[in-house]
Amino acid sequence: MIGAVLIVGAGISGMQSALDLAEAGFKVYLVERSPAISGTMSMLDKTFPTNDCSMCILSPRVVDCGNHPNIEILTCSELVRLTGEAGSFQATVRKRPRYVDVNRCVSCGKCAQVCPQEVPNEFNQGLDQRPAIYKVYPQAYPNAYVIDKENCLECGSCREACPRQAIDLEMPIDMVTLSVGAVILSPGVEIFDPAKRGEFGYGIYPNVVTSLQFERMLSASGPYQGHPVRPSDHRAPHKIAFIQCVGSRDLALGHNWCSSVCCMHSTKEAIVAKEHLPGCETTVFCIDVRAYGKGFEQYYQQARQEYGVNYIKCMISSVKELQQTKNLRLRYRLADGRVKEEDYDLVVLAVGLQPPKGSRELAAAAGIELDAYGFSRPRDGNPVFTSRPGVFASGAFTGPKDIPETVIEAGAAAAYAARLLSGARGTLAVTKAFPPERDISREKPRIGVFVCHCGVNIGSVVDVPRVVQYAKQLKNVVHAEEFLFTCAQDSIAKIKTRIKARNLNRIVVAACTPRTHAPLFQSVLREAGLNPHLYEHVNIREHSSWVHREQPEAATRKAEELVKMAVARVRLLSPLTPSCGEVNPGALVVGGGAAGLSAALSLAEQGFKVFLVEKANALGGNLRHLHFSRNGLDPQAVLAELIRNVTAHPLIEVFLETQVKASAGYPGNYTTVLNVRGEGRTISHGATIIATGAKEAKPQEYLYGEDERVFTQREFEAKLADGESFSRVVMIQCVGSRTAERPACSRICCTQAVKNALQVKAENPQADVFILYRDVRTFGRNEDLYVRARRAGVIFIRYEPEAKPVVHRTENGLAVVVKDHVLNEELCLEAEALVLSTGVLPADDNEALSQLFKLPLTDDGFFLEAHLKLRPVDFPAGGFYLCGLAHGPKFLEEAVIQGNAAAMRAAILLGKERLERVAITAYVDQRRCTGCGTCVEVCDYQARQINEQIRKAEVIEALCQGCGACVAACPNRASRQKGFEKNQILAMIDAAG
């Protein structure tokens, strides 16, 4: 068994798998075809619905991958052969010459300045030019140039200009052989070439652009510095049309899939366009609006109601250019049947996603099978499993998906690799060494301030150069500097250089949220020999640019004041040293459904003890009610195998009819009290996974509960499983979902309805099945089912929420009255069975568990992850992870995958022998303490006690989480908090005054 993993593809998925495995104690080889890691996501401006800068999501991962001692990155490389078997593979990798020595290149750019050859810039989607020697994008890693030999004139100008002799035009191809135990394939996707759909005029009309080109227009690092203009005349557009499903859901092209991201991508671009261009009119032409993800429906409604984005449900039949103005005339059909023509300044084509170039060659090299479309063919219904044992797939290589699903699937792929190689964990890994910490006790404060543009996220509102100049005038500030992206690899390197060159001993970074970025910059301090707590983070994105978007002068003044306050505080900071504690290598999994069972099994197969708690008298959760699947698998057989494997595993202890009653502790060491059939049981563990599941919503309308012929989808599926046959079925979607009371989309309902409709047709091909819908949200590969249903004769009728279907009894059964938007007439449908798609509600005990474990919930009652895109299976509190329906509605295979991803994150913690505790903890000034016990009462972490001998309060540092509640409650100011001392807070207040 070899404790190394080969990962092919270094986009967001590949990087996530690499970091998870490297942190878990495995050697990782990260192979990427292009000259830089990060993939397509580096071209994006912002993400939805969080509105985060894409580089803010990518950069920490790029930096962490580049700096991790257990990750070896091979760019310009590709897998050409894989021999051996699971646990012991030999991988042959072809490493194409870069013609630039990355160890010598300092990215000064002098070579590019003298290069006489220019070609279209792929990173900016051909909107500008780049030289033949170039860096992929400003924040690229490796931070070195590369020569495009196909377009190089071989004139030698770059070699003569290079002061470091880094250029070698004779660099040969290198063949590398790697010994690995497992392989993960995540080569990403590419976008559809819209020139193949000539009716839209792409490549002919300059003002017809792709969604990715428009993304580069919006980006501060793009060809127009974040100011969207028309390519034809560089004039700001006043009317923009977005055309959806270009290359997706297209049977003529054989693209029988939905690209999953396009609807929300266009919604985001329409919103950002309005932010850049106040008064701009944006219209999205679509078939359906597939806002199916967590928070997506709310974001879609915000676009409509707050930003005035217009949505027209139709397909554009033609785009024509007006010769004089270069405007574009769109022809389309309205819902009432009228044909309309309208002129726009700019047309954006939402191009679909498809398998990347070279995917078939990669599949042949890895010895795996692809499906008919060129995506990885799943094995046993699990998209992470390829046809070859030991070779796993993740990300968009298994089918188009959004960032959270990509990150989750990457974690699952890492978990399956870790399960396979658990016996070799740590055999090839090394521990990162940091330089000795510098003693600054006798040094005067020498503060460095670094301010981030964050693309247009900050820089479009806040005058960043002015903030930098302001910072330079503050007391003890000896260096201030601005960066386009402070979190980028080259910026990180410059900060470390500045710390050493200017002898800085305290650092302030003014950028976006510390929630995601403070750990990154604190790590920079450690690598530069400084204590990581000599650092202050200023959030000038949420606190300045976002909240004062229409007041740039006020936002800039506020940013200046925030920096001034941070400098006042950091001036008084002292080094903090966290204590360390041993880690209990066991885990508590709360919930015994598909996700919980998968998480428990994954952890156990990685060698960790698991306590699996289920409140019901049997394992299985919602999976017990699932009888048919989308991919032909038998869900009950899947459940039986999961239960058999879990109950047979010696490291898993199952508790049925059990509830969690109390829990205390800290990451790595928790003590939890269980109520097992009325009896108490105390367990100790190092991590907790929440997999509490969810429940089917019960409707309050359409005669449900009044007529025995009205069912929910789950009830109807049980009828079909019992062998009942139906001849006339009507299904109504969005019953109780996407309303003011429950604004979210439940994600699975459309596919569930289509699946059950196909089952009706399978039993009785002559049956009449009608599905009444608002939007058909069969996203991703589920589009196949939708196509199959239409071909089988299932009738889909759209209704608007203002004209919901009406149900009443008749002499012959049930009648459903609905207005058909195509015929523009009311239809009366007779129904033998009326099936309601009612959606998914959070589990009843989520609120209680939220209070018990101090875990956040969303507005609709599901558990809230630490970050939608960055950390979709982590909680903000260390040591806690979530998966399955506890996180939000999802399909069976998604729950299984997320269970494995959560297990992988937990395994990283449990695999450590010792863990650093929180450094910013409370302490007691014994001279002031009267032993009143107020601090003991307010502490949620049981980290306080009264020393009965001296009648003074004490802090149990191992339990303290640094929340500060005791400091606020103490009447005598005896409770203090490291890093938030009274003089530090008062200094900030004085600076603000």
User: Residue 30: is its pLDDT beyond 80?
Assistant: yes
Q: Cα 968 to the chain's mean position, in Å?
A: 35
Residue-wise pLDDT for 634-688, tens only, equals: 999 999 999 999 999 999 999 999 999 999 888 999 999 999 999 999 999 999 9
> Mean pLDDT across the stretch 265-270?
96
Q: Cα 456 to the chain's mean position, in Å?
A: 21
User: Residue 433: is its pLDDT beyond 80?
Assistant: yes
> Mean pLDDT across the stretch 950-967?
91
Q: How far apart are CA 735 and CA 715, in angstroms?
A: 15
According to the model, what pLDDT value does residue 263 have?
96
pTM of the model: 0.93
Residue 848 identity (one-letter amino acid): A
According to the model, what pLDDT value does residue 338 have?
84
- Within 10 Å of residue 453's Cβ, how many Cβ atoms? 22
Give the CA radius of gyration of the chain: 29
Whether the link from the prior residue into 465 is cis, omega within 30° of 0, is: no
- Within 10 Å of residue 143's Cβ, how many Cβ atoms? 20
User: Residue 835: is its pLDDT beyond 90?
Assistant: yes
User: Residue 575: is its pLDDT beyond 80?
Assistant: yes
Residue-wise pLDDT for 51-110, tens only, equals: 777 877 788 888 899 999 999 999 999 999 999 999 999 999 999 999 999 999 988 999
Residue-wise pLDDT for 215-239, tens only, equals: 999 988 889 988 899 999 999 999 9
CA dihedral in degrees (98, 100, 103, 109; nearest 10)? -120
According to the model, what pLDDT value does residue 488 have?
83
Work out the percent of the chain whose per-residue pLDDT is above 90: 85
Least confident window among 88-92, 395-399, 411-415, 487-491: 487-491
> Which token pair is 586?
């066991």
Going by the DSSP 8-state scheme, the letter that residue 543 receives in this structure is: I
| Average pLDDT along the chain | 94
Instruction: Report phi then psi at 178, rounded to 5.
Output: -120, 135
According to the model, what pLDDT value does residue 44 have?
87
Q: How far apart are CA 585 and CA 879, in angstroms?
A: 12
> Mean pLDDT across the stretch 485-507?
92
Report helix, strand or coil for 100. strand
User: Residue 50: is its pLDDT beyond 80?
Assistant: no
Residue-wise pLDDT for 507-566, tens only, equals: 999 999 888 789 899 999 999 999 999 999 999 999 999 899 889 999 999 999 999 999
User: Residue 864: is its pLDDT beyond 90?
Assistant: yes
Q: How far apart are CA 263 and CA 311, in angstroms?
A: 11
- Within 10 Å of residue 952's Cβ, how many Cβ atoms? 17
Strand order in the sheet with 182-185: 71-74, 27-31, 4-8, 182-185, 391-393
Going by pLDDT thresholds of 50, 70 and 90, the confidence category of residue 993 is: confident
Residue whose C-alpha is closest to residue 527's, from 106, 915, 64, 56: 64
Residue 345 identity (one-letter amino acid): D
Please say whether the beta carbons of 31 and 78 come within 8 A.
yes
Please say whether the beta carbons of 617 and 920 come within 8 A.
no
Q: How far apart are CA 151 and CA 115, in angstroms?
A: 11
Residue-wise pLDDT for 169-223, tens only, equals: 999 999 999 999 999 999 999 999 999 999 999 999 999 999 999 999 998 888 9
According to the model, what pLDDT value does residue 221 have?
83
Instruction: Report phi then psi at 569, rounded to 5.
Output: -75, -45
What does the longest C-alpha to C-alpha distance in the chain come to?
93
Q: How far apart are CA 771 and CA 63, in angstroms?
A: 49
According to the model, what pLDDT value does residue 157 have?
95
93 dihedral zone (left: phi>0; alpha: psi -120 to 50; beta): beta
User: Residue 755: is its pLDDT beyond 80?
Assistant: yes
Going by pLDDT thresholds of 50, 70 and 90, the confidence category of residue 725 is: very high
Three-state SS string over 635-694 comes to HHHHHHHHHHHHHHCCCEEEECCEEEEEEEEECCEEEEEEEECCEEEEEEECEEEECCCE
Which residue's structure tokens are 């002898």? Answer: 503
Contacts of range 48-54, beta carbons closer than 8 Å, 24 or more positions apart: 48/264, 48/265, 48/267, 48/268, 48/296, 48/299, 49/264, 49/268, 49/295, 49/296, 49/298, 49/299, 49/868, 50/867, 50/868, 50/869, 51/546, 52/512, 52/869, 53/454, 53/455, 53/457, 53/485, 53/512
